[in-house]
């Protein structure tokens, strides 16, 4: 593969503040303001609106040359005033962009000053809550922006009590916090599981309505839905926290554990057979209740579907790219299907990505030697695709030029999906999501058989479409 020393060409990630918007938009009555230049907000609003097909308002402090030289204090205060007057939000998430960070604006200090000037206190119930997050894009990606924003939200609403002996009010609920943004359909699917299995739960952030709202005549200024503020404040009283994703660090789960003694655990995003098995196994462990029959039936149907398509998918060479945890879970599923993921890549700079991928490949099919790339751009991905010669691409719509140039199918999943409709309804989690995704992959391959044929290979002894044996035992 060609080694390049020059700058990023077509990034395989999105800007860090955009990740913060994905988190803030899952909170009830919350507005987002980017402290930086107007273009950042315009680009990210469009990006999200094209993906979710919903209006997405993101305010901007509109820094210009003057602000860049003298600092953006006045712009930010004016922006906050405008947001309060026009949207009347309960929470304002203030995320910085590259310019605000480069000129060194101290956003928390400006926010404190603004609150003093406007007489805004710190009462979580009565006052407007302003949550600053530092998200310069030259630092990290939308993945870390999302994680940082969730951490900041939880720290604001579930602040560690000054008095160590302060009484707790156990609520018997389960906190659920994914490390990456899921689709609204995924969130709805998971909420259904928790409604059936948990006495109570708090899902943070809940974008199931805010990014996929029913049509209504009176379009609200801020989309309805989202995790309620009282629920977030109640998170320290929960019996446990469950993180979804094991590659990126789940800062909110860690904070709740370290500061509020809420035991935390993490499982992979439940995509595919064994990851969904692990998810249910963990729920059974935490909640002590059986898996509802409905999901046992779905699991059986997934196994049946895997057997049905095995002859089409076995040995098919795939390239998978996207956000680290999403790619990890998709890779596990590809391996379970007997596919050959020759190229596995993320645009995020993730410390644990390669190790986790190697572990899962070693566990399911140690004969494979995929190329694993971390922190890449699409230019590098293009080179890697030339080298690995996959027969199918699996990832967001930005890989379409590579797929088109090579005349191979692209199964669109993840974020962003701009060139097709329905991204908000793509379901990948749970047994049902696995079945839907499996159908999409298989049909894409069948449709492409005009130009290529999936190789016929002897089945490897390592083929492991078996899921989590422990979970299977429990289901008998």
| Site residues, ligand SF4 (CB under 6 A) | 15, 17, 36, 40, 43, 97-99, 137
| Residue among 98 and 129 whose Cβ is closer to ligand SF4 | 98
Give min distance, CB of 15 to ligand SF4, in A.
Answer: 3
Give min distance, CB of 16 to ligand SF4, in A.
Answer: 7
Question: Does 416 sit behind a cis peptide bond, omega within 30 degrees of 0 on the bond before it?
Answer: yes
| Residue among 98 and 193 whose Cβ is closer to ligand SF4 | 98
Using a 10 angstrom Cβ sphere, with 0-12 exposed, 13-18 middle and 19 or more buried, the burial of residue 108 is middle
> Nearest to residue 463, comparing CAs of 311, 290, 270?
311
Instruction: Give the separation between CA 467 and CA 187, rounded to whole angstroms.
Output: 23
Give min distance, CB of 68 to ligand SF4, in A.
Answer: 11
Helix ranges (DSSP H) in 293-377:
293-313, 324-336, 353-364
Give min distance, CB of 285 to ligand SF4, in A.
Answer: 41
Give min distance, CB of 79 to ligand SF4, in A.
Answer: 15
Q: Which residues fall within 8 angstroms of residue 50, CB to CB, at 6 or more apart?
A: 416, 418
Helices (H) and strands (E) in the chain, counts: 18, 13
| Residue among 152 and 445 whose Cβ is closer to ligand SF4 | 152
Backbone angles phi, psi at 215, to 5 degrees: -65, 135
- For 451, other C-beta atoms within 10 Å of its C-beta total 10
| Residue among 40 and 471 whose Cβ is closer to ligand SF4 | 40
Give min distance, CB of 65 to ligand SF4, in A.
Answer: 14
| Residue among 136 and 245 whose Cβ is closer to ligand SF4 | 136
| Residue among 35 and 249 whose Cβ is closer to ligand SF4 | 35
| Residue among 93 and 236 whose Cβ is closer to ligand SF4 | 93
> Nearest to residue 371, comparing CAs of 321, 435, 296, 429?
321
Instruction: Give the separation between CA 381 and CA 403, rounded to whole angstroms.
Output: 11
Helix ranges (DSSP H) in 339-452:
353-364, 378-388, 400-406, 430-447
Give min distance, CB of 97 to ligand SF4, in A.
Answer: 4
Instruction: Give the separation between CA 142 and CA 467, rounded to whole angstroms.
Output: 31
């Amino acid at each position: 593969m060609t080694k390049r020393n020059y700058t990023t060409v077509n990034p395989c990630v999105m800007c860090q503040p955009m990740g913060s918007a994905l988190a803030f938009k899952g909170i009830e009555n919350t507005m987002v303001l980017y402290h930086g230049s107007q273009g950042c907000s315009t680009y990210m609003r469009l990006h999200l609106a094209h993906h979710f097909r919903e209006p997405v308002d993101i305010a901007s402090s509109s820094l210009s040359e003057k602000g860049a030289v003298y600092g953006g204090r006045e712009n930010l205060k004016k922006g906050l005033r405008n947001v309060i007057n026009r949207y009347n939000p309960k929470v304002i998430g203030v995320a910085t962009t590259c310019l605000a960070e480069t000129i060194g604006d101290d956003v928390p200090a400006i926010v404190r000053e603004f609150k003093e000037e406007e007489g805004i206190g710190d009462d979580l119930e009565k006052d407007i809550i302003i949550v600053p997050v530092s998200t310069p894009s030259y630092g990290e990606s939308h993945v870390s922006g999302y994680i940082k924003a969730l951490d900041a939200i939880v720290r604001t609403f579930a602040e560690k009590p000054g008095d160590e002996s302060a009484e707790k009010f156990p609520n018997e609920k389960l906190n659920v916090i994914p490390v990456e943004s899921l689709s609204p359909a995924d969130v709805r699917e998971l909420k259904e599981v928790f409604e059936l299995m948990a006495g109570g739960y708090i899902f943070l952030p809940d974008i199931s309505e805010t990014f996929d709202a029913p049509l209504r005549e009176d379009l609200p200024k801020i989309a309805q839905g989202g995790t309620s503020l009282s629920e977030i404040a109640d998170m320290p009283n929960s019996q446990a926290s469950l993180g979804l994703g094991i590659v990126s660090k789940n800062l909110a789960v860690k904070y709740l554990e370290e500061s509020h003694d809420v035991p935390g655990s993490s499982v992979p995003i439940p995509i595919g057979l064994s990851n969904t098995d692990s998810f249910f196994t963990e729920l059974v462990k935490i909640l002590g209740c059986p898996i509802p029959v409905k999901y046992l039936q779905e699991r059986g149907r997934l196994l049946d579907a895997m057997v049905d398509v095995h002859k089409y998918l076995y040995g098919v060479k795939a390239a998978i790219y996207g956000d680290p945890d999403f790619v990890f879970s998709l890779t596990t599923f590809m391996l379970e299907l007997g596919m050959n993921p020759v190229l596995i890549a993320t645009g995020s700079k993730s410390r644990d990505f390669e190790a986790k991928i190697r572990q899962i490949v070693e566990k399911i099919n140690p004969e494979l030697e995929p190329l694993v790339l971390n922190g890449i751009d699409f230019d590098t991905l293009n080179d890697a695709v030339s080298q690995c010669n996959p027969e199918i691409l699996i990832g967001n719509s930005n890989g379409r030029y590579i797929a088109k140039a090579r005349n191979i199918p692209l199964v669109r999943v993840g974020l962003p999906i701009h060139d097709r409709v329905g991204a908000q309804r793509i379901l990948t989690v749970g047994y049902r999501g696995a079945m839907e995704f499996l159908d999409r992959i298989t049909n894409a391959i069948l449709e492409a058989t005009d130009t290529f044929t999936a190789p016929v290979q002897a089945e490897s002894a390592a083929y492991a479409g078996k899921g989590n044996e422990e979970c299977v035992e429990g289901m008998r």
